[in-house]
């Protein structure tokens, strides 16, 4: 298995205003994206990969020889990999409101000539899907072979299947949920409060003060990390191991787990935008497609046309397997074709990003089977209907 090698992002400007679920609109915007592999003649082999909280359009390949520039799902996407770029044309797109290139809070608000800051409109998973659909239009992709994502990315894939049922043949939803629980929302709100009450946040206008709300972001990220790992995994990786072999009887670092979390928090606070963090957690909290159907997920998914692959991980307590079961059950109620794999993995929510041979095999086999439609030409015989 080789990597994609050096890749480069592209960008596309959209001058048509994008109406948002909130009632606001973005008057214009830029989407940054990457593509890997080659779009085939009838444009039937495109796969859209949607990203989660702190990831981006940089799904696979590297920006330089430096391995640290590798994409966040490089173990999944590439030549000969589970999502095989020798067969599929893969698109990674950075979501609106992010801090990795697409229009976001640090960009200039055309209405004021200053950075959007906290005035960047709250965007939803559905808003992202609408903006992605315009990119697909521009790239000449009427129907995706698959839309795929993990966690918040899985929500986008699910939203695609609801909003544009004819525009994807397969929907791949990994380690995701049809909606956040009260506990999920609670964690998100503590993180947001840490940022919003950091004096360096300056009501979202910290850019012009030349500071960032580092302390708030740091706490938010530390907290996030606890929910990404399983209790068991933390016990195995860190347990009660002490940094220096003995209690320090102070408030510095005693335990290895403290060292790990503070390091993760520090690193994150140096590159991630605080307004983006707020926006993305709101998109997570608001996602609830069944809300407009009286909470009935079966009804919500009744217009979907795609085939589905769902994957969950046994120790994921952020979006537990039960959350995937709800989606599977609603799809089965609608007599959709669903493949479901529950991977017994120790790594909690993070497992969706990690190498696990059974997990990769499931996705690989699914894409191999889906490719037969493309390769065998069965699409023309009506498989798109």
Q: Please state, in angstroms and as integers, the Cα–Cα distance from residue 253 to each residue in 83, 177, 192, 245, following that order.
A: 41, 35, 25, 11
Annotated catalytic, 254? no
Rounded CA separation 134/275 (Å): 25
Kindly state the smallest distance separating residue 212's Cβ from a copy of itself, in Å: 13
- Which of 56, 102, 131, 151 is the catalytic position? 151
- Closer Cβ to a copy of itself, 17 or 80, answer by number: 17
Q: How far is the CB of 343 from a copy of itself (least distance, A)?
A: 21
Q: Establish whether 349 is a catalytic residue.
A: yes
Radius of gyration of the chain (CA): 21
134 vs 237, which CB is nearer to a copy of itself? 237
Q: Which DSSP category does 54 fall into?
A: T
Q: What is the DSSP letter of 36?
A: E
Q: What's the CA gap between 326 and 301, in Å, rounded? A: 11
Catalytic member of 74, 84, 188, 316: 316
Q: How far is the CB of 200 from a copy of itself (least distance, A)?
A: 9
Residues that bind a copy of itself (CB under 8 A): 21-24, 118, 121-122, 179-183, 185-187, 189-190, 192-194, 196-199, 215, 218-219, 222-223, 225-226, 229, 231, 234-235, 237-240, 247, 249-251, 254-255, 257-258, 261-262, 265, 278, 282, 285-286, 288
Question: Which residue is catalytic, options 127, 312, 349, 350?
Answer: 349
Residue 123 CB, shortest distance to a copy of itself, in Å, is 9
Residue 12 or 223: the one with the smaller Cβ distance to a copy of itself is 223
State in angstroms the smallest separation of the CB of 345 from a copy of itself: 17
List the one residue out of 346, 303, 339, 306 whose CA is nearest residue 324: 339
Nearer to a copy of itself, 63 or 260 (CB): 260
Within 13 Å, how many C-alpha atoms sit on residue 198's CB side? 24
Pairing of strands 144-150, 168-174: parallel
Choice between 92 and 321, CB closer to a copy of itself: 321
Q: How far is the CB of 244 from a copy of itself (least distance, A)?
A: 14
Are 121 and 128 spatial neighbours (Cβ–Cβ below 8 Å)? Answer: no
Structure tokens at 30: 């830029």
The Cα 180–Cα 178 span in angstroms is: 7
**34 vs 254 by CB, closer to a copy of itself:** 254
To the query of whether residue 344 is one of the catalytic residues in this protein, the response is no
Helices 125-138 + 152-163 axis angle, to 10: 70
127 contacts 20 by C-beta, under 8 angstroms = yes
Q: Looking at beta carbons only, is 22 or 337 nearer to a copy of itself?
A: 22
Q: How far apart are CA 76 and CA 21, in angstroms?
A: 32
Q: Where are any strands of DSSP class E within the chain?
A: 10-14, 18-19, 25-26, 29-36, 46-50, 77-78, 83-84, 89-93, 144-150, 168-174, 307-313, 338-343
Provide, rounded to whole angstroms, the least separation between the CB of residue 72 and a copy of itself: 23
Q: Known catalytic residues? A: 151, 316, 349
């Amino acid at each position: 298995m080789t990597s994609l090698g050096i890749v480069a992002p592209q960008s596309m400007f959209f001058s048509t205003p994008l109406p948002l679920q909130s009632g606001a609109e973005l008057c214009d915007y830029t989407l940054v994206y990457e593509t890997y592999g080659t779009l085939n003649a009838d444009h039937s082999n495109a796969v859209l990969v949607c990203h989660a909280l702190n990831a981006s359009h940089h799904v696979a390949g590297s920006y330089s020889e430096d391995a640290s520039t590798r994409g966040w799902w490089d173990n999944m996407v590439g030549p000969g990999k589970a999502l095989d770029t020798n067969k599929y044309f893969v698109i990674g797109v950075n979501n609106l409101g992010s801090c990795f290139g697409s229009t976001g809070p640090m960009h200039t608000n055309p209405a004021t000539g200053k950075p959007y800051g906290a005035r960047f409109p709250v965007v939803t998973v559905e808003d992202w899907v609408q903006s992605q659909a315009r990119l697909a239009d521009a790239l000449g992709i009427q129907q995706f072979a698959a839309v795929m994502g993990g966690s918040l990315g899985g929500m986008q894939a699910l939203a695609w299947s609801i909003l544009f049922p004819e525009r994807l043949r397969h929907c791949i939803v990994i380690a995701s949920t049809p909606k956040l629980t009260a506990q999920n929302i609670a964690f998100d709100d503590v993180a947001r409060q840490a940022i919003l009450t950091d004096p360096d946040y300056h009501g979202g206008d910290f850019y012009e003060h030349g500071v960032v709300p580092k302390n708030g972001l740091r706490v938010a990220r530390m907290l996030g990390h606890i929910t990404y790992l399983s209790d068991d995994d933390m016990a195995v990786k860190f347990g009660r191991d002490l940094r220096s072999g003995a209690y320090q009887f102070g408030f510095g670092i005693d335990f290895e787990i403290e060292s790990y979390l503070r390091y993760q928090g520090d690193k994150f606070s140096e590159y991630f935008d605080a307004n983006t963090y707020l926006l993305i957690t709101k998109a997570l909290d608001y996602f609830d497609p069944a809300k407009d159907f009286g909470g009935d997920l079966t009804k919500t998914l009744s217009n979907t046309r795609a085939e589905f692959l769902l994957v969950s991980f046994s120790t994921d307590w952020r979006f537990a397997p039960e959350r995937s079961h709800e989606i599977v059950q609603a799809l089965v109620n609608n007599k959709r074709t669903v493949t479901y794999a529950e991977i017994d993995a120790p790594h909690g929510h993070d497992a969706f990003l990690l190498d696990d041979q059974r997990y990769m095999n499931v996705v690989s086999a699914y894409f191999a089977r889906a490719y037969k439609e493309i390769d065998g030409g069965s699409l023309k015989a009506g498989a798109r209907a």
